[in-house]
Amino acid sequence: MNKSELIESIAKSADISKAAAQRALDSMVGAVRLSLKRGHMVTLVGFGTFYVGKRAARAGRNPRTGAAIKIKAAKVPKFRAGKALKDALN
């Protein structure tokens, strides 16, 4: 499912216009992004938790030249599925 299909599904199930569904989805994604940027977790009970993970600095190789390079440490977004979501899939 891509973004436009998700918007269509939200609009249909909530009985709202696609434009309103798109604004709602964009607002939700923006709120999650802002919260993660501030270092907070976002927990949606029954769905899961979005949080910020840390990736350590490491050595890598340039695939084109084979030269060794240093890859900086980074913060990465992560998601941990909740129990209800896991149970729905099994």
What pLDDT shows up at residue 37? 96
Q: With a cut of 70, which residues of the chain have pLDDT below it? A: none
pTM: 0.80
Selection from 44, 42, 45 nearest residue 34 by Cα: 42
Spatial distance between the Cα atoms of 8 and 24, rounded to a whole number of angstroms: 12
Question: Given the structure tokens 């998700």, which residue do they identify?
Answer: 6
Contact 52, 78 (CB under 8 A): yes
What pLDDT shows up at residue 82? 96
Helix (H, G, I), strand (E, B) or coil at 40: coil
Helix (H, G, I), strand (E, B) or coil at 1: coil
